[in-house]
Structures are given as C-alpha cells and as structure tokens.
Chains A and B, each alone.
Chain A
Amino acid sequence: MSGMRRVAVLVWKELIELKEDRDLFGIVILAPILQLFMLGYAATTDVRDVPVVVADADRSVASRALVARFNASPNFTIVDVVTSPNELDPYLERGRAWIALAIPPGYGEALGRGTPQALQVIADGSDANSTNVAIGYATNLIAGYAQELGARMPAGSVTPGIEPRVRVWFNSRLDSRDFMIPGVLALLLLVITTNLSSMGIVREKEVGTLEQLNVTPLRRWELIVGKLLPYALVGMVDVCLVLAVAVLWFQVPLRGSVTLLFALTLVYLMSTLGLGLFVSTISSTQQQAMMTTIFFFLMPMIYLSGFIFPIENMPAVIQPLTYLLPLRYYLVILRSIFLKGVGLETLWPDALALAAWGIAILSLAVARSTKREA
C-alpha cells in the first residue's frame, strides 16, 4: 500500500520534470508528428512519372491502345515512341528513360487471334528500388489491360494472351506509405521510450538525486516502476498521436482491432523500457547512455528488423539474427493489424516472442541495477 503511494509520488515527480523540460516536450510531442510527415510524404518508395520509351514495331490499334494506357497512368510518362528496338538503347544509357517497352511486330494481330504474346520490358537497374516498384506497376498495368481485353471478347472465344502473373495482396494500392507508417510508429516508440528512460535514470545518477533516494526507505522495485511507468505513459500518448495522424490524415487503413494494438504495444514497451533501464546500468553520463542506445541498439534494429530492408532479402547467415530483435516482432504485429486485420489467433507467436524478450531484458536490467548497490 505504502509502496504504491511511493510509486505514485515518483510518477508525479517525473511527469512534472518532463513537463518543465521544454526540449523534452518537443521531442515527445512534436518529433513524432514531424517524423510521421517526413516519412509519410518524402520517404515513400512510391514512384511517379517514370519515364518510358516505347519501341512500337507493330503500329496497330492494339499497340497504340497499350501505349495510351501507359501515358494515362500517373506512374508513367511516355517520353518517346520509336519504331525499332535498336533505337531504345540511347534512351536508357542517357537516363532519359527508366523503362523501355518493346512491342513486337504482329502484336495486335496475334492478340486478336488469342495467341499468347510476349512483351519485352527493359529497365534501368541503377536505382534498383525505384525500378522494382516501376516494374511492378508496369506488370500490373499490362495484366489489367489483358483482363479488360478478355472481358471484351465474345463468349466462347479464346482468351487473349497476356497472362497476369503478379498479384499484390493486402496493399493492393501498392502504397508504400501504408507499409511505412506502422513501421514509423514502432521505431518512434523505441527511440523515445528507450532514450528517455535511460537518460532519465542516468540524469538522477549524475545530479546525485539517485544517491539521495538510495538512503530513503524507497525499495528497488518501487524506484524502477516509478521511473519506467511515466515513460510507458509517454509512449502510449505517442501511440495515440501517431494513430490519429496515420488514420485521419494519411488514411492508412487500420483493419484490425485497436484494443489488440494497444495491448501488444504495452508488451512491446516492456522491451523498450527494459532496454532503457539496462542501458542506464552500463552508463554513467547521459551522453553515454544516448550513444549506447543509438549505436548498439537502435541502428542494428533499424537495419535488421525489416523496417527498411526486407528480411527475406538478407543473407541466410544474417536472417536468424533478426529473431533476436524485439522490433522485428512488433513490426510484424503492427503491419498485420493495420493491413491484414488479423488477430491474436495468427499473431500469438510474435506476441509471445515479444513478451519473452521484454521479461528477459527487464530481469537482466533489474538484476544489474540491484547488484550495483553493493
């Protein structure tokens, strides 16, 4: 009972300190929104107006219709139409076009007969990311066109031959923003709660108030709970902020349960706050705490968790390492709740891993912080 009261007093004190610190207030409230807008607008991997050059050797109604369709798409701009595939090279070499489309002679005629037709797509691979996306758009566009032609054919006739091979699930708009924003939320929570909690504890060490608290009847667990709880609160406020902006402004679909999202966020916060407490036990200054957090924990997590680079594309030796990162599990959980709308029946392995991670790091940090007293 008196223990809870002491924790409450600690939380009250911590919140006053947070409120009085103008810079910190900016970091906690303004930075998340700023980050969200930055990544939401600038850092999308969507590509627009990809320059395309077409070598139309067919010059039929069908080939012209296809070119017109490319031109009408917001993703592409036709820079030129030539007649021979040999003329395409200079466009790609000079960077005037990223994608070259070669329509073979007899394309329209073959299409009319229902014979399968191959279209050659040549892409500039020097910017692999954008090109991949652009190829995806192109494939989709061609497939969509083929489907339409099929619908127009009289019943019983053979379906025309551009087979749709690629299908995009869950993010059919292929809007990278829908994919990025849940990731930003995960990363923000990690950066803010880990840094604030570790620096908050180390600051008391630096100033000497921690020693003052150590000669009071305050128990170890009360101190730890009292120091971490306020930052969990800050984390939840940030979740609300980011969710509001993501859903209301960016209109990212939130298909799953909001309750589940909050519940699993609390589980995730055990990891980030445990990490903060752990960092505080190995640092004696705030700078040291911040640098340790950034270089030993944040950066590896950003690179290896699947936040930017897909885990499936990583070398086989690296892939098992990603299982060690709490961010990996939380990213899967967030993206699944947002885009797939699935629940705990699918996500329980990730939730369990996340909880295990949190309990492990918290126990380690608590053990370390008690030992230091001796």
Chain B
Amino acid sequence: MSAISVHDLTRRFGDFVAVDRLTFEVREGEIFGFLGSNGAGKSTAIRMMCGLLKPSGGTATVGGIDVGRDPEGVKRRIGYMSQRFSLYERLTVDQNIRFFAGIYGLRRDRLETRRRFVLEMSGLQSREHVRAADLAGGWRQRLGLGCAILHEPPIVFLDEPTGGVDPVSRREFWRLIDGLSARGVTVLVTTHYLDEAEHCHRVAIIHGGRLAALGTTAELKRAFHGRTIIEVHAGRPVDAMRLLDDMPDVEKTSVFGTAVHAVVSMKPGEAARTIRERLEGGGVAVTRLGPVEPSLEDVFLDVAERATQ
C-alpha cells in the first residue's frame, strides 16, 4: 500500500493555479523528494497533504485517510516541519519537548523515552536548559525535527527543512532522515538544493505547479539518453558559448562553474571531435573537453526548460 497517494491535486488562489493536477504515489519507508524552484508550488502541495489547506480539486490520501474528508485524522498520523523551525524561542529545549509531547498526548514512560530519544537525536543532552532562542541553526533544526516526530508518526513532511543551515548541519540532518527511513518512516521532503535530492529514493520535479518529471535520480539522468553532455574548459568561455550556440547539433548550453556544458544530439566520441574542431576553428583555445555524466542540475534545468516551452 502507498503511504501517500495523490490524484489530480489542484489548488487555485483566485485565477492563479498554484498546484495543477498533481498525481503521484509515495511508497512506505521511502524518502520522496520534491524538487523545484521557489514558487513552484511545493509548499502549497505539502500544506494540502497535511490538512493545512483545502484542495480546490483532486484528492490526497495520507496514511490511508482522505485529507479532504478527515484532515484531523491525517494530523494524528503525520509529523510536519516547515522551513521556519517552529519552536518556542522563550522556552528551553526541555520545555519545548515537553510542550509538544503534551500536545500529542504523550504520558509518563513514553514521554520520558521519547524525550531522551529527541535529546540524543539532536545532540542536545547537555543543553536541555538552554533557551531555544540561544541555539545555533543546526541544533534548532534538529530539535524542530525531534519535536515534530515525538509521537512517532509513520509519515513525515519536511518543507525545506535545511534552508539557511550550514553544510555540516545539513549533512547531519540528512543522516537523521536516512535513519527515519531505515525504521520504515515515509519522508516527503521539499528542497531546492539539488545535492540533497541525491539522498532521496525518488524525486519529483515540480515546475509551475505541475509534475514535470518523476523517478529515481538515475532514471531522471537516463532521460538524457541519445544525447550527450560535453563539458568544455576553454580560455574564453563566453566566446566558446557563442560559437557552440551557433552549431546546429547543439541543443543548448549552460555555464557550470568555470566550464560550459553543451547538450549535443550526437554520440559522445563524435560530439567531442566536432566541438573541438569548431572551437579551435573559431580561435578559442580549449584546455580540456570531454563527455560527462549528466548531473541532477543538468536534468533539472532541462526539465524546467522543457516544461516552460
């Protein structure tokens, strides 16, 4: 059975369609990534699945319960954490845990077990009496996650949980998400960090409120089959790009750091040879050039571009 099943989910704000007929399934224990630029409709979709926002159309079934019919039933079975880790800043770490435990109706033994679990999980054992306001970003975020899963929900929604957090803390946080998944918890997480998508079992790319692509990262990269990405390191990248854009076999070019990526509808060997000839013929010195595996960023840009067209 699917943990989450979404069918034609739609949300309109006046004339604006924020989420447009979204359809997908999330398996139990899966880490499911929602990828998309800001304003793509990721948060709106998540808020509907959590029962915070009424859908304009379509259905979302979470943990076997129809959100539209019984939002309160869904709320008992999920954990939710948004980009603003919502803790009470004037309360201490311990008080925050006790507060949310009380709201979730945890008592005595279970409260103590879960309290210790959250403290350990967030690495805050020795800082129980520090006010939440005085915690650094990474700690607050881990405590936020801990408070959201105090009641051991089988499904967890994380809306851009790693926004504004340093890379080390992000890595640490993803370790926690992997741990949840290993214990059978289903995690739906939105992000616009593409490196984070590599942690997800499957990824849905959302663009303009629509599902633009769905699959494992390997599957998404394979969508590039039949085409090649040639990475070019050249002395004058701007000139190189102009020359490449003029070539009929080059679909598009984009800048990747100091290099230029060209998507070419040719076999790798042939593509590399053709491009080298063209660039050197145009007077651009090529330092290094060769086919590369498409990164998720290539895929994302490609999908976004095609969805726009």
Chain A residues close to B by CB (< 8 Å): 2, 5-6, 8-10, 12-13, 16-17, 20-21, 207-209, 211-219, 373-374
Contact = CB atoms under 8 A, between A and B. Distances in A.
Interface residues of B, number: 28
B82 A217 contact: no
Contacts of A21: 90
Given A20-B90, A215-B51, A215-B52, A208 B104 contact: no
A204 to B, nearest CB: 9
Contacts of B52: 211, 214-215, 373
Contact of A217 (B80, B98, B99, B105): B105
Contacts of B82: 208, 211-212
Given A216-B75, A216-B103, A217-B72, A209 B80 contact: no
B87 interface: yes
Given A2-B105, A215-B80, A216-B104, A16 B91 contact: yes
Name which of B72, B102, B148 has the most chain A CB atoms within 10 A of its CB: B102
B227 interface: no
A217 B91 contact: no
Nearest to A213: B103
Which of B50, B81, B88, B148 has most chain A Cβ within 10 Å?
A: B88
Given A215-B75, A217-B105, A17 B90 contact: yes
Contacts of A218: 103
Q: Give the most central of A6, A16, A214, A216: most B CB within 10 Å.
A: A216
Contacts of A214: 52
B87 A209 contact: yes
A215 B53 CA distance: 11
A172 B86 CA distance: 58
A106 B94 CA distance: 89
B89 A207 contact: yes
Contact of A13 (B78, B81, B95, B105): B95
Contacts of A213: 103
Interface string B94-131: 01001110111100000000000000000000000001
Contact of B80 (A10, A16, A20, A212): A212
Name which of A2, A13, A208, A218 has the most chain B CB atoms within 10 A of its CB. Answer: A13
A215 B50 contact: yes
A351 to B, nearest CB: 36
Nearest to B50: A215
Q: In the complex, which of the residues A217, A218, A373 has the most CB atoms of chain B within 10 Å of its own CB atom?
A: A217
B86 A212 contact: yes
Contacts of B81: 212
Contacts of B72: 217, 219
Given A17-B88, A215-B75, A216-B75, A5 B102 contact: yes
A207 B84 CA distance: 8
8 A-B pairs with the lowest CB-CB distances in the bound complex, closest first: A9-B102, A212-B86, A208-B84, A215-B80, A20-B90, A208-B86, A209-B86, A17-B90
Contacts of B87: 209
Contacts of A6: 102-103, 105
A106 B296 CA distance: 113
B76 A217 contact: yes
Interface in B48-97: 50-52, 54, 72, 75-76, 78, 80-82, 84, 86-91, 95
A216 B157 CA distance: 13
14 contacts: A8-B102, A9-B99, A9-B102, A9-B103, A13-B88, A16-B95, A20-B91, A208-B82, A212-B81, A215-B80, A216-B100, A217-B72, A217-B75, A374-B54
A213 B86 CA distance: 9
Interface in B139-190: 148
Contacts of A217: 72, 75-76, 103-105
Nearest to B95: A16
Given A8-B102, A211-B82, 19 more contacts: A5-B102, A5-B105, A9-B99, A9-B102, A9-B103, A12-B99, A12-B102, A13-B91, A13-B99, A17-B88, A21-B90, A207-B89, A209-B87, A211-B86, A215-B52, A215-B78, A216-B104, A219-B72, A373-B52
Contacts of B50: 215
A258 to B, nearest CB: 35
Contacts of B100: 216
A222 to B, nearest CB: 9
Contacts of B102: 5-6, 8-9, 12
A240 B98 CA distance: 31
Contacts of B76: 217
A20 B131 CA distance: 10
A21 B72 CA distance: 33
A209 B51 contact: no
A53 B148 CA distance: 79
Contacts of B99: 9, 12-13
A374 B284 CA distance: 59
A217 B50 CA distance: 12
Nearest to B47: A211
A209 B103 contact: no
B9 to A, nearest CB: 16
Contacts of A2: 105
Nearest to B74: A215
Contacts of A16: 90-91, 95
Contacts of A215: 50-52, 75, 78, 80
Contacts of A12: 99, 102
B104 A207 contact: no
A213 B99 CA distance: 11
Interface string B238-260: 00000000000000000000000
A21 B87 CA distance: 16
Contacts of A8: 102
A207 B103 contact: no
Contacts of A17: 88, 90-91
B88 A209 contact: yes
A291 B104 CA distance: 35
Nearest to A223: B103
Nearest to A6: B103
